[in-house]
Amino acid sequence: MLSRKDCLDLDARDLLAARRELFDLPAGVIYLDGNSLGALPRNVRPRLEAAVQNEWGRDLIKSWNTADWINLPSRVGDRIARLIGAGAGEVIAADSTSVNLFKLAAGALKARPGRKVIVTEPGNFPTDLYILQGLRDLLGDVELRVVERGALAAALDEDVALLLLTHVHYKTGAVHDMAALTARAHAVGALALWDLSHSAGALAVDLNGCGADLAVGCGYKYLNGGPGAPAFLFIAKHLQQSFQTPLTGWMGHAAPFAFSDDYAPAPGVLRGLCGTPSVLGLTALEASLEAFDGVDMGQVRAKSMALGDLFLDLVFERCEGFGLGCSRDATSRGSQVALTHESGYAIMQALIARGVIGDFRAPDVLRFGFTPLYVRYVDVWDAVDILSDIMARGEWRQARYHEVSAVT
Known catalytic residues are: 125, 195, 220-221, 367
d(CA 366, CA 348): 7
96 by Cβ neighbours in 10 Å (0-12 / 13-18 / 19+) ranks as middle
- Measuring CA to CA, which residue among 5, 37, 1 is closest to residue 377? 5
Give backbone dihedrals phi and psi of 201, rounded to 5 degrees, phi first: 95, -5
E strands in 117-222: 117-120, 143-146, 160-166, 191-195, 214-217
152 by Cβ neighbours in 10 Å (0-12 / 13-18 / 19+) ranks as buried
For the chain, helix (H) and strand (E) counts, in that order, are 14, 13
Q: How far is CA 66 from CA 62, 74, 92, 283, in A?
A: 6, 16, 21, 14
Q: How far is CA 207 from CA 112, 175, 214, 268, 399, in A?
A: 21, 14, 9, 17, 44
d(CA 400, CA 392): 18
